[in-house]
């Protein structure tokens, strides 16, 4: 498995099984946390991949706080696709500044599945743009798509699940990929995130720890159940502007 030094939650999504017995093609779709921590070794490693398009779901405030670092030796196309839902730092700041009782305010936070459904309810056009990048990729130059947010688990997890579902990946494999982020982020990344939230004076409850660092399978299962109730992933992305030819191109590009 390809790794990028400096990233905890990077992975290429090649090799996943589809419902018709094929697998996803490596070098077409990858996912990670933000690229702000890349050092020269990590930048060189990223430059050696087929990634040429960065789909960034972070808000402008998140981008300003932790700008992506990209390899200087070749061009990258950046798709700024901000989704407010999932911006944990913004949520924590709002709790810290808007309530004298942070513990009580935490009770108002959504669960992960509620957060994902909120994303889905208003985010079809944004998710469709990310899928369009995959459909437009080709082998002539590095045009693989790397999707990311801050942790690479929530906004990124929903986006990749939609793309994988549209490509025909087995649902169990999609759910397992989502769940992998919790293991990847455990340790130094999670500890740093916890310290950052504690600095706001916010108590770390078990539910908040899950919100910040967890990827329980049930969360993405509930999100995908919502998508099923609205016609499935393909219909959902098409409601956001993805065309039928783009759907076919995505499948042809992502599935070997």
Q: What is the DSSP string of 186-218?
A: TTHHHHHHHHHHHTTT----HHHHHHHH---HH
pLDDT at 2: 76
- Please report whether residue 252 resides in a domain: no
Do residues 18 and 167 lie in contact, with contact meaning Cβ atoms separated by under 8 Å?
yes
Q: How far is CA 207 from CA 56, 194, 248, in A?
A: 26, 13, 40
pLDDT at 188: 95
Q: How far is CA 198 from CA 14, 95, 103, 108, 154, in A?
A: 37, 12, 12, 18, 21
Q: Two tokens at 30?
A: 């990858």
- Please report whether residue 131 resides in a domain: yes
Inter-axis angle of helices 206-213 and 188-198, nearest 10 = 120
- 97 has pLDDT over 70: no
- Please report whether residue 173 resides in a domain: yes
Name the residue with higher pLDDT: 206 or 1. 206
- Please report whether residue 256 resides in a domain: no
- Please report whether residue 250 resides in a domain: no
Into how many domains does the chain fold? Answer: 1
Distance CA 234, CA 247 (A): 7
- Please report whether residue 53 resides in a domain: yes
pLDDT band at 86 (very low <50, low <70, confident <90, very high): low
Name, in order, each residue with C-beta under 8 angstroms of 137's C-beta and a sequence gap of 6 or more. Answer: 28, 52, 53, 143, 144, 145, 253
Residue 201: give the domain boundaries.
11-244
How far, rounded to the nearest angstrom, does the alpha carbon of residue 209 sit from its chain's CA centroid? 18
- Please report whether residue 251 resides in a domain: no
pLDDT at 131: 98
The residue to which tokens 């078990």 are assigned: 206
Q: Is 54 helix (H, G, I), strand (E, B) or coil?
A: strand
What's the CATH number where 208 sits? 3.90.190.10
Name the residue with higher pLDDT: 104 or 10. 10
Q: How far is CA 130 from CA 94, 99, 147, 161, in A?
A: 28, 36, 8, 12
Task: Give residue-wise pLDDT tens across range 191-238.
Answer: 999 998 888 888 888 989 999 999 999 999 999 999 999 999 999 999
Q: The pTM is what?
A: 0.94
Bridge pairing between strands 29-32 and 51-56:
unpaired
Task: Give residue-wise pLDDT tens across range 31-73.
Answer: 999 999 999 999 999 999 999 999 999 999 999 999 999 999 9
Q: Is 144 helix (H, G, I), strand (E, B) or coil?
A: strand
Closest alpha carbon to 130 in 88, 161, 153: 161
């Amino acid at each position: 498995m390809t790794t990028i030094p400096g990233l905890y939650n990077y992975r290429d999504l090649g090799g996943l099984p589809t419902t018709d017995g094929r697998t996803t093609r490596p070098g077409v779709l990858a996912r990670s946390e933000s690229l702000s921590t890349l050092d020269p070794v990590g930048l060189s490693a990223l430059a050696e991949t087929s990634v040429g398009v960065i789909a960034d779901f972070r808000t402008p405030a998140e981008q300003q706080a932790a700008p992506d670092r990209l390899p200087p030796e070749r061009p990258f196309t950046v798709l700024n696709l901000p989704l407010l839902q999932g911006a944990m730092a913004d949520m924590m700041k709002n709790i810290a500044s808007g309530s004298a009782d942070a513990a009580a305010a935490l009770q108002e936070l959504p669960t992960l599945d509620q957060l994902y459904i909120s994303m889905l309810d208003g985010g079809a056009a944004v998710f469709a743009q990310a899928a369009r990048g995959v459909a437009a990729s080709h082998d002539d130059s590095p045009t693989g798509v790397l999707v990311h947010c801050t942790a690479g688990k929530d906004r990124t997890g929903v986006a990749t699940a939609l793309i994988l579902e549209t490509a025909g990946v087995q649902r169990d494999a999609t759910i397992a990929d989502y769940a992998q982020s919790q293991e990847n982020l455990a340790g130094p990344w999670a500890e740093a995130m916890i310290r950052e939230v504690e600095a706001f004076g916010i108590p770390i409850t078990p539910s908040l720890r899950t919100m910040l660092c967890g990827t329980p399978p049930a969360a993405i299962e509930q999100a995908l159940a919502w998508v099923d109730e609205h016609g499935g992933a393909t219909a959902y992305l098409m409601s956001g502007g993805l065309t039928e030819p783009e759907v076919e191109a995505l499948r042809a590009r992502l599935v070997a």
